[in-house]
Amino acid sequence: MGELERGQRLAVTTDLDSWDIVALRFGVAGLLLSPVVVRRGLALDRLGWLGLAGIIAGNAAPYALVAAEGLRFAPAYDGGALNPAMMPLFVALIAATLLHQQPSRARKTRLFLVVAGALILVGWHTETDRTGWNTSRTFGDALFLLASFLTAIFTVITRQAKLDPIHAAALVSTGSLIICFPFYCTVSEDHLFQIPLLQTIFQGVLVTIISLILYVRSAAILGAFRRLGVWSFGAPLTAFLAIPLLGESPSDIGWVAIILISAGAYLTSGGPLSRRRDGGNG
């Protein structure tokens, strides 16, 4: 959520939309990392064309567009809760379906807390004027879940293929540049020329290249579940920050959902408390 919120702030200050932010990030990153792809190739021996398409969709321009569009329809704290915390559930489902890797009974129980919190968060909200179901927010939440699923696809493929983090970041960024930038140029206005050089470097290098490399590296070291030890604090932190920064405050039932999701995510990660409860086998 941090990357998306930074992108949203840039959009507010420069009249950029989601397409502009994505074009900026992956345009710069794709240009800088394209020599890596030229030198190392497309890794088709490990990915195949379907796997290559999966990692580009899973953590590149398609993912960024879906997640950013979700912020247009649903509160930031929904995204902070649903997007990262649901990803390990999707990883577990993909692994069980395609790789025949079944999670332990204890992990299934902990994932149930995440699912319960997500169902409450998605299913409980209504319009602020109590006129009926908030279909706009539901659509935003669905986009957050789709973004989480795309990230799960990226995570499973990169771990199975054992891609080097820099190579993975290069494939994702260059693929986005080749696929999305020509379309963007045909439909956009000249918004990108409004952006200061420092912001261009920040969005293209730090927010995109560095974060992609760190993501792939941490997933390889810790796995999709243990990364949640840090992510579990993202949902309540986003909710707290959204109150003064965005004027968005969760309802009482919203806080219950966020706590359930965070607790389930933390326990699923095998954090210190979880390991003590399991006798060190978490």
Task: Give domain status of residue 68, yes or no.
Answer: yes
Answer whether residue 100 shows pLDDT above 70. Answer: yes
207 CB-near residues (< 8 Å, 6+ apart) = 3, 6, 7, 25
Distances in whole angstroms, Cα of residue 198 to Cα of each of 64, 125, 195: 21, 40, 8
**pTM for the whole structure:** 0.74
List phi, psi (to 5°) of 126. -135, 175
Assigned domain for 282 exists:
no
pLDDT at 31 over 50: yes
Q: Give me the percent of the chain exceeding a pLDDT of 70.
A: 69
| Spatial separation of the C-alpha atoms in residues 267 and 282, rounded to whole Å | 9
- Token pair recorded at residue 30: 């794709």
Looking at residue 120, its pLDDT comes to 77
pLDDT at 265: 67
Residue 221 lies in a domain: yes
Please state at what angle helix 252-269 crosses helix 211-226, rounded to 10 degrees.
80
E strands, the chain, where?
Answer: none
Residue 210 and residue 232: Cα distance in Å, rounded? 22
Instruction: State which residues form the domain around 149.
Output: 2-277
Number of domains in the chain: 1
DSSP structural state of residue 206:
I
Residue 41's identity, in one-letter code, is: G
